[in-house]
Chains A and B, each alone.
Chain A
Amino acid sequence: MDGDLVLEWLSFRGHGRLSDVASSVAAVMDSPPRTRAYAARAYLRRLEVLGHLDLQWSEGKWRIRPTVLTQLPGSSAIALVIGKRTAELEGRLESEAVLHRVVPPTSRTVSLGDPGILLLEYDSEAELSDVATNAGAKFIPCAALDLAANLPLLALGARAAGPNTYGSAVEMFNVLEREFTQVETFRRDGLFKQKVNGRWQYWLLRSGRWSSIGYAEGMCLTMSEVDSRCLQLKIFEDVDEDPIGTLHVNGALPLPVQHQRALALCSGVNAVKAPDGTWAYDNVPNSVALAVARSIHQHLQVR
């Protein structure tokens, strides 16, 4: 089963309930039945990071993103095609420009491969913009820079009542052990979680004030207090105004989706796990890495 078929199918469906697509995607996965449902959700998340989908976990909905042509940052003159993708669209793009389909690097975590990476060769920005218009797609000069420039500074979420003391067990994130452990009292500041209606909910406790928060955001805020050197940029292409390199993100630090997307769209591929346990993103300009780091209260380490 290849990811192209799944993405094409999602493009036809357009939008709908998450549970429906998750079960259909699970059914075409080759992983063992018990882990399929989880794998299918993880796979949809990967597609979301690659800019093909938007997922709304809280409302249980999903939506395909409109087709976008965008340039990769750096000196390479190739454009990435993301979002809604059908054979019809590929045909139109092929008639307008040189279209390449690259098989993405295989991931060891998911049995279903990511969809092929669609890349366009072009001669000028104006030409690319015309190709997009003629194919019914949108043109964004550089989606990665665009996303990075719009990343919000992570802050506490909406004020909330905190975990239900009469509900299921509450766990707190132990920053030293880097894992959640069950707690009885909630006096210390930190990140807490509890299963509510079968789904994990997260809260941050800061000086007696509870606020509800997403998992990745909560982890980023908590981790920034103990380790602010989780992001390392290794420069490969030392261009004077915006050097470009590979960004390594500490494996224990989950990034929110829009941060992951800004980084993944620098190369069009999902992060790969490096031998040292960090997540590596290719072709990341210093400005993008810096914007991501600032947004999650980290100090970018440049080597």
Chain B
Amino acid sequence: MRVSNSEYNHDVGDREVLGSHMDYDWWQAKLSEEFFPLDQPDEPVIMFLDDDEMVRICPDLPDPVISLRSAVLAELRQTDTTAIFEPLDRRMATWRKGPQDQPPPSLPLLAITVIAGSRMRNDGAFSSAAYYPRLLSLMTSGRNSLTATGIQKHFDVVADMWQTLDDWIGRNDDFLGPSTIHTHQTFNRIGYPLSQTVLKASDRERLSGFFDRIRVDRSSTSSPTQLLALLRLWMDKPRGFSTTFVDLVQKGQGDPLLLAVISKIAAEQSGPPVAKGRVRLDLRMCIDPEDWSISWMIPVDPRLEMDELRQDNGSLFSIRKPDYGSVYDVASGSLPQGAPLINKHFRAAGTRAFLTKKVRDIWILRIDPSSGQWLSVPAATPDEPHLLVVRDIDVAEMEELLTKNAASGYWKFRGKLFPGWNVYVDVSWVEPIDLSTAGAFNSLGQLLKAPPNSRPKLVNGLQLRTDVGGLHYLQGGEPDVQLPEDSSNESVDVVLDKRLPGTRLKANGSLFPLRVAGPFTEGKHTVSVAGVTLDFFVHTSGSAAQWEAARTEGADDAVPPGPVREAETPEYVLCRRGRNAAVWFVSPSGLVRRRSEPPVPLFITRLGFPQSYQWKVSVPRGTAWVLTERAGKLSQPQQISGDPPNFGSLDGHSQEFWRRVARETINNKNRLWRSYLSQSMEDSIYGR
């Protein structure tokens, strides 16, 4: 429903006051028409706007956000006192006195507060949770920042306006869907606009991470629903989206706005990538096994090609992704190097990346296959050689731990690589680390992974390969639970989908097949074993995850397809089964062969195959035409080759055929067939 300006002014009944502010009214009418159509009582009302939505709503305006801003600024006083909202208050007062059949005249201002919310992202200057800086930068025009500060100072008035709008939607529930306006416990003022900010800029970036992974055909029309289904699976794990967006995705049943937003972003993905938040990089220790030289490296993050980073002391360096290898090249400037760095914190920030190094109590290094050097890793894995760097004070404890849990063959580096530290080389843990032995060695206990069998896990099962995260299985191919292996052989409870009481089993590392507890319904299931809860999804035919799985390539190499062979092409003709069914083959010499209908092959009935009402026969070499016959009637001829007729002497069988076929196909228009017919007639007239 579109509200024209004149109507609106008439409703308000104050032409004199509003006459000079047509822009604000135009925006009020535009937003009212866009978000509050009074004929959709089932769809929840969300006043979501961001820069892209503004362009979509007003495709004709060169910069709709600027236009909206100036319309709103013109309706505010240039002050930062409470008087700032005076003109708007007057509009609200007039509206309150009226019939209130239109939304309150605060929509343009409220829209601005939503757009500010949509611009929240970690841009280096402010975090993705900072709202007011976005509002200030959006509302500051030229050198006037007074009004912008005023809005922030008196945001409680704006919050009231949101509340008024919420009340108005509630009163009009016959025409409008439920309101989605609500506020936040802590941020009770900015909570209002944020409840409408379906998609913060940071959400948009996280979504782009999602779209990078999946392979949905963006040109197909069914994709938004499929995308939404996949997105729900992906967001089953915390992905850092705003609460508003999470709520909308998990609750909204095919919400048209959400679908529109998703498909729009999906389409954008094929174009230039959106600006991304900063990538977190980690400075790693690197030791060359040849000459025991120490260096510090930055492992490559696939999202970052290159960046210039500034250290805390102000010096700059730039990194670039190498053609080959797992660490960045330092293109200009230099990374700090040397052994003493082990005892220091380090930080450097760029526009796209953020690099840190923490002070640790133990460094664990593993050979990096692409460089052949020891590279620090977050945790040790059993049965693989590691290099450990431990503080001098921890040596006694380390030695005890090594004698107990490491394979023989490790050795202590004699020289001093790092002052105050000791280095152990070729350490591979065979025994699970006993944490009680580690005792005070808290850091080591935390850093070394728990032995693989002490935790239950899901194994086997007909698992689908998707990139949406989580474990997905075909219905009927649910996984097995590998029970924890406990030396005391205690019993554990396996509880499926919180259905108590669970099954009591010995914790002996054996497998418990979940599918025997089935059948499972489609969707998420949980199994908890000894207090550890494992999630998995079950999919039936045709789910979006299945669809996705069919298109997800594995990490392993594809087997190249076999050589293409020259295909033999036998040609078959089909004929309906029935009384006196037969096929006639006509050769260019005029001779014909008849093949009558064979009985149904034995194996067809024995194997229970369907009995087709057709039978087929391969066309012999040198056949020019095929005709089928059923119930004494010949079909029209079917051309097999373009050979011209070259009749020789015909046997009686063939002569009979030609006499018959001439009668039945005399009206056939095919010139080649007609020349066959005429030759057959010549032969019958003149003989040979």
A interface list, Cβ under 8 A from B: 1-2, 5-6, 8-9, 11-17, 23-24, 26-28, 54, 56, 59, 61-63, 71, 74-78, 86-88, 91, 98, 100, 102-105, 117, 119, 121-125, 140-142, 145-146, 149-150, 236-237, 239, 241-242, 244, 246, 267, 269, 282-283
- Identity of the chain B residue whose Cβ is nearest the Cβ of A59 in the assembled complex: B559
- Distance between A128 CB and nearest chain B CB, rounded to angstroms: 9
- Identity of the chain A residue whose Cβ is nearest the Cβ of B638 in the assembled complex: A124
Interface bin, chain B: 35 or more
Report whether A78 and B612 are in contact in the complex, using a CB–CB cutoff of 8 Å.
yes
Instruction: Knowing A11-B550, A28-B477 are in contact, say whether A56-B559 is a contact too (CB < 8 A).
Output: yes
Q: What separation, in Å, do the CA atoms of A183 and B393 have in the docked complex?
A: 63
Report whether A121 and B612 are in contact in the complex, using a CB–CB cutoff of 8 Å.
yes
- Residues of B within 8 Å of A103, CB to CB, are 608
CB-CB contacts below 8 Å: B353-406 with A: none
Binds A, one of B124-132, B193-201, B301-309, B565-573: B565-573
- Residues of A within 8 Å of B602, CB to CB, are 236
Q: What separation, in Å, do the CA atoms of A5 and B518 have in the docked complex?
A: 15
- Identity of the chain A residue whose Cβ is nearest the Cβ of B612 in the assembled complex: A77
Classify the interface of chain B: helix, strand, loop or mixed: loop
Q: What separation, in Å, do the CA atoms of A102 and B610 have in the docked complex?
A: 8
- Residues of A within 8 Å of B541, CB to CB, are 8, 87
Q: What separation, in Å, do the CA atoms of A140 and B477 have in the docked complex?
A: 32
Give the 7 A-B CB pairs with smallest separation, nearest first: A27-B460, A87-B541, A77-B614, A9-B462, A282-B603, A63-B559, A12-B549
Report whether A12 and B464 are in contact in the complex, using a CB–CB cutoff of 8 Å.
yes
- Residues of A within 8 Å of B603, CB to CB, are 246, 267, 282-283
B653 beta carbon closer than 8 Å to chain A: no
B618 beta carbon closer than 8 Å to chain A: yes
- Residues of B within 8 Å of A125, CB to CB, are 571-572, 574
Q: What separation, in Å, do the CA atoms of A5 and B474 have in the docked complex?
A: 8
- Distance between B605 CB and nearest chain A CB, rounded to angstroms: 11
B554 beta carbon closer than 8 Å to chain A: yes
- Residues of B within 8 Å of A91, CB to CB, are 542
Report whether B559 and A76 are in contact in the complex, using a CB–CB cutoff of 8 Å.
no
- Identity of the chain A residue whose Cβ is nearest the Cβ of B462 in the assembled complex: A9
Cβ contact of B554, chosen from A9, A16, A104, A244, cutoff 8 A: A16
- Residues of B within 8 Å of A122, CB to CB, are 574, 614
Report whether A105 and B565 are in contact in the complex, using a CB–CB cutoff of 8 Å.
no
B511 beta carbon closer than 8 Å to chain A: yes
- Identity of the chain A residue whose Cβ is nearest the Cβ of B597 in the assembled complex: A75
Report whether B556 and A17 are in contact in the complex, using a CB–CB cutoff of 8 Å.
yes
- Distance between B599 CB and nearest chain A CB, rounded to angstroms: 8
Report whether B607 and A14 are in contact in the complex, using a CB–CB cutoff of 8 Å.
no
- Residues of B within 8 Å of A140, CB to CB, are 567
Report whether A241 and B620 are in contact in the complex, using a CB–CB cutoff of 8 Å.
yes
Report whether A23 and B460 are in contact in the complex, using a CB–CB cutoff of 8 Å.
yes
- CB-defined interface of B201-212 with A at 8 Å, one 1/0 digit per residue? 000000000000
Report whether A78 and B598 are in contact in the complex, using a CB–CB cutoff of 8 Å.
no
Q: What separation, in Å, do the CA atoms of A151 and B572 have in the docked complex?
A: 23
Report whether B465 and A282 are in contact in the complex, using a CB–CB cutoff of 8 Å.
no
Q: Knowing that A28-B461, A141-B568 are A-B contacts, what are 11 other residue pairs whose CB atoms are under 8 Å apart, sorted by A's residue number?
A: A8-B474, A9-B474, A12-B465, A56-B559, A76-B616, A117-B607, A141-B572, A150-B565, A236-B602, A237-B601, A246-B603
Can you sample 17 A-B contacts with CB below 8 Å?
A1-B476, A9-B464, A12-B550, A14-B554, A14-B558, A74-B601, A76-B601, A76-B609, A76-B615, A88-B547, A88-B550, A102-B607, A140-B567, A141-B569, A145-B568, A236-B601, A283-B601
- Distance between B260 CB and nearest chain A CB, rounded to angstroms: 26
- Distance between B82 CB and nearest chain A CB, rounded to angstroms: 63
Instruction: Knowing A14-B553, A146-B565, A242-B618 are in contact, say whether A28-B515 is a contact too (CB < 8 A).
Output: yes
